[in-house]
Chains A and B, each alone.
Chain A
Amino acid sequence: MHRPITQRSVRRTGAILATVASAALVLSACGGGDSAASDLNPDADLTQQSLTVSNWAGYYPEDMAANFEAAVGTPMTITNHATNEEIMAKLTAGGDSGIDVAFVSGQFAQALNEAGLIETLNPEFIPNLTNLYPEAQNLAYDPGNKFSVPYAWGTTGICYRSDLIEEPTSWNAILEPSAENNGKVTALATERWLMLPAQKALGFSANTTDEAEMEQVKEKLIAAKPGLLAYDDTTFYSRLVSGEANAVVAWDGWCNYGTAENPDIKFVVPSEGSDLWADTMVILKTSKNKEAAHAYINYILDPANHAWVAENILYKVPNKGAMDAVGAGLAATYPNMGLTPAQLLEGESLVDLGEAGPLYTKIATEVTSS
């Protein structure tokens, strides 16, 4: 069967080029128009709207859509993304992604706003905004929550097996692992958090755009690579459970999933310090259901609902009423649920890197392909 296809395929190239040349004439650049922020209708019938929300897989209670529909009357579909980058690619690909509300980390919300892709929020439609901790209303990527509302927040640290190893106190436990941990540690792969341990271990800002500093970060990460089991954003906690790894770089809440399966799995913020991240909700300009989208954000910010979210995802939520209700109870089993806003603010708030974005991307490639 192979003969006819391949013999012909050699000549195929010429044919493609010919068509390609003629087709060039057909193409034209498409200009993007920017739309003014739309007015919201306070009398909109929410049951006539429908919502499509994209959130991280496993980052919301399973019955979220059903409960929201029961409470507000708007039918809702939740789709999943694995990383910020993945949802960003979908949202910036042009055209209508079909998504009304997206969950992205703060610095990505900042970029989406600069790109003119997300809606300026109307606080009148989100009265529950006042339930947020004051600290959560002035985060560096969006002071005043003009275009994004924090859904969960926390920090990044080391999640480890306290029955197998000593408590790691430094990021170097991952970057320069001891003999017993060599090949039994993992790092996060997603760009900003790939850099974070080295940035902090070297005493730099997690938002640095200084090329000389980033060069040192790169060297440190390249030197660390042979000691790693893998780069892993999604399954690190299960590696601790299965015993494949002793210590992993982890977001606080996600370490709790490991703790839930094995109480010997603990979380620590290394002494060099870490970040303060926030995962936010934003409304897309292309949404045709903006009233319902605002209603959804308001629904989440209801203390009872936000507490229900925290109990399900085991991440801290920036909602005072919610944390007052369930924080202490959860902290008994998952100590990092007890971190206070003041403690979180010791971490450096991540912001968009602007023009330095490609620098990080390139360094990430240099590190992972070394």
Chain B
Amino acid sequence: MHKLGWLRVPLIGTYAFLYIPIAVLVVMSFNASKNPFTWTGFSTQWYSALFNNDLIRQGFVNTMIVAVGATILATILGTLLAIGVARYFRSTVVEAYSLAPAIIPDLVLAIGLLAFFSLIGVTLSLFSVLLAHVVFGMAFVAAVVIARIGQTDSSLEEASRDLGASAFTTFFRITLPSLAPGIIAGALLVFTLSLDEFVVTYFTNGPTTPTLPIVIYSMVRFGVTPEINALAALLLLVSFTIVISAQRITRLTDSV
């Protein structure tokens, strides 16, 4: 550490900046008072209030439906797309096009989809949210899997074909396993992005099916509620678990 010298200052400063606000939320989630500015004693009442909040429960269920659906569809489509682009197109234009939904500003994608759904008469609902999440999710999966394809060696697949294996067998026995770490990482990425997605959901969702970020947005707009602190602490715990397990999984599969 002593080699760092003055660089310790930005390092410590940055982590303080990143974690103090979160720490405040976690601490305040155990505050007995409704007023978020004064500590009056330890309490877990906001956690029980949270679990009894129907809107949050409904939002959580809706969020999971979209996230699971979007992850499955985006992972399948994105993986196939990556193989198609990296193995059969070898065109930077097609590749750029495939990755564009990951780069385009979310607000632009959101208004475009709202205009599009409205034009073709799609009723805004969880289904339209799902369609929207798949488009950017797929691009993220494709990006990760294309990177993985760049690291893998295609000679195994050629050998498999030369030895007379069908294209089908080669795909499932050789190609997919070799890409697995990329596919899993991509799927986890889509899942977490979808869980947290606000802007695109805000524009493409119907009024009767709020997702958790939409519920949080309206709670935050309607003022300071200690339940949000409790929710923040729980979400932090979940993210922590996901990130750590993602690290484990990629390390495990990488070592295979």
Residues on A facing B (Cβ under 8 Å):
1, 4-6, 8-12, 14-16, 19, 27, 30, 52, 54, 57-58, 77, 79-82, 87, 90, 93-99, 234-235, 238, 242
Chain B residue, CB-CB nearest to A237:
B223
A12 touches B103 (CB 8 A): yes
Verify if B222 is at the interface (C-beta below 8 Å from A): yes
Residues on B facing A (Cβ under 8 Å):
35, 37, 92-97, 99-100, 102-103, 114, 117-125, 143, 146-147, 206-208, 210, 218, 221-224
**Chain A contact surface mostly:** mixed
Contacts of B114 in A (CB 8 A): 93
A64: shortest Cβ distance to chain B, in Å?
13
B93 touches A15 (CB 8 A): yes
B99 touches A12 (CB 8 A): yes
User: With A12-B96, A93-B124, A238-B223 given, is the CB distance from A54 to B207 under 8 Å?
Assistant: yes
**Chain B contact surface mostly:** helix
| Complex Cα gap A95–B114 (Å) | 12
B207 touches A11 (CB 8 A): no
A5 touches B99 (CB 8 A): yes
Chain B residue, CB-CB nearest to A30:
B119
Most central of A15, A96, A97 by chain B CB within 10 Å: A15
B103 touches A97 (CB 8 A): no
B222 touches A242 (CB 8 A): no
B16: shortest Cβ distance to chain A, in Å?
26
Contacts of B125 in A (CB 8 A): 98
B207 touches A79 (CB 8 A): yes
Q: Could you say which of B100, B123, B218 contacts A15, with CB atoms under 8 Å apart?
A: B100
Q: Could you say which of A6, A12, A80, A87 contacts B97, with CB atoms under 8 Å apart?
A: A12
| Complex Cα gap A147–B143 (Å) | 53
B207 touches A16 (CB 8 A): no
Chain A residue, CB-CB nearest to B93:
A15
| Complex Cα gap A99–B120 (Å) | 19
| Complex Cα gap A52–B124 (Å) | 14
User: With A58-B222, A93-B114, A98-B123 given, is the CB distance from A8 to B208 under 8 Å?
Assistant: no
A97 touches B206 (CB 8 A): yes
